Structure 1
Amino acid sequence: MTEVMGLRERKKLETARRIVRTAIALFVERGFDNVSVQEIADAADVSKMTVFNYFGTKEDLAFRPMEDHFGDAARAVRERKPDESPVDAVRRQFLELVETRDPSVGLANEVFVRQLRELVLGTPALRDRVFLAAQKGTRDLAAHLAEETGDLMLATIAAAMISAARNALIEEHWRRADAGDHVDTIVADAPERTARAFALVEQGLGDYARKAH
């Protein structure tokens, strides 16, 4: 029975992946607003009802592949090791994702991932949803820190700074990739850049960019 269920789950996962990849290919080719769910279903060789069973909305087809990662920072803090600070936990998790060349931190050689990013950035409805999801991730992080410390104001500031550092690093990876840098070079530089980014969070702004006389 376990083997049967395992096979069933694998088939469901394969179907979901096929639907997503088919949808992304059509969106990239014709534009998100110019593709219907029925057309996606036909191209993926499934019914329209099957698409909606796997994905509640058309937007979910593009958003679902990245959805879980908006909670990565909050998850790192919740699951951090004893005596590990929130900054240390998020930095460690980030470097682990870099080491595995995870697309969620801007490291992707696969054409599909690049196409998905360009699609999201070029589609207002998807771009807005990503923004809201990122904001929710930061709020979740702040809520957890506030639970631990009892100070929502400082927790909100800390969460915003941690999220900003992490997001800036990801954007830097994408910027360098778009400029033609090889992923191996970006990965090799990541520890030093990550250390500098999170050091700014740890140390506070202090004399950063103080205007000279």
Structure 2
Amino acid sequence: MNGEPGLRERKKRRTHAAISEAAIALFLEHGYTRVPVTRVAEAAEVSKRTLFAYFPTKEDLVVHRFADHEEEPARVVRDRPADSTPLAALRTHFLAGLRERDPITGLNDRVEVRALYQMILDNPPLVARLEHFRAGAERALAQALCDTADTTALTARLAAVQLVGVQWALAHDNAQRLAYGEPADERYAGAVRDAEHAFALLANGLGVLPARG
């Protein structure tokens, strides 16, 4: 075994990508609410049943792109240096994301990314569906805190809610500004100031979390 995915898995990934790309293209061209799922299935050359096997809801056709980041805060906490607190590790990671214009921070103004931001922000069902990934991020981070820090389950859960909530709020603010015309380079300094302020506020209550258990 060389660790490479087999033929079946590669086919599944290609089908997943084809459906997603067809959906995003149609939604951006015609509007999210105006494109039925059947039209997406036709464009991707799959059955409606197959489409729903990959994407359980219409909203998932768009917001699944955030799924890869659902456990990102937890990974950052688990992989942090032994002398780093969870808060410090997440702050460093978020600031690095801003510098690198990582779309998950909201600070990316590539045409296709900006269009995706705007579509999500203009459609409440898509915003609501994102809460599914936010809740998953909170659960994963709470478990990572329990596993790597000497803290109670309640403290870990409350900390995770605050940490994930702050990062999502910062990303939402950035995305909203960029979706309606502000260039990423012009927003960058303000985004850094907002992030520094947010993490400083968290430090007043969460800085007591130990570096590692």
Q: Normalising by structure 2, report the TM-score.
A: 0.76
CA distance in 2, matches of 1:118, 1:179: 7
1:180 is aligned to: 181
Highest relative contact order (Cα 8 Å, sep 6+), 1 or 2? 2
Q: Which amino acid aligns with 1:87?
A: L
Change (3 A) 1:32 1:173: closer
Q: CA RMSD in A?
A: 3.2
Task: Give the drift of 1:34.
Answer: 4.3
Q: Which amino acid aligns with 1:43?
A: A
State the secondary structure of the residue aligned to 1:193: helix
1:62-97 CA distance string (max 9 Å, x none): 122111213221221121111110011111111222
State the secondary structure of the residue aligned to 2:59: helix
State the secondary structure of the residue aligned to 1:81: coil
Work out which of the two has the higher radius of gyration on C-alpha atoms and give 1 or 2: 1
Change (3 A) 1:132 1:60: closer
Bigger Cα displacement from structure 2, 88-97 vs 158-167 = 158-167
Q: Is the 8 A contact 2:115 2:179 kept in 1?
A: no
Task: Give the drift of 1:52.
Answer: 5.2
> How do 1:198-213 residues align onto structure 2 when only pairs under 5 Å count?
198-204=199-205
1:211 is aligned to: none
Q: Where do 5+ consecutive residues of structure 2 fail to align? A: 207-213
> How do 1:44-193 residues align onto structure 2 when only pairs under 5 Å count?
44=44, 46-48=45-47, 51=51, 54-55=54-55, 57-147=57-147, 148-178=149-179, 180-193=181-194
Count of residues in correspondence between the two structures: 203
Q: Normalising by structure 1, report the TM-score.
A: 0.76
State the secondary structure of the residue aligned to 1:204: helix
Task: Give the drift of 1:26.
Answer: 1.9
CA distance in 2, matches of 1:96, 1:33: 35
Larger helix proportion of the pair: 1
State the secondary structure of the residue aligned to 1:181: coil
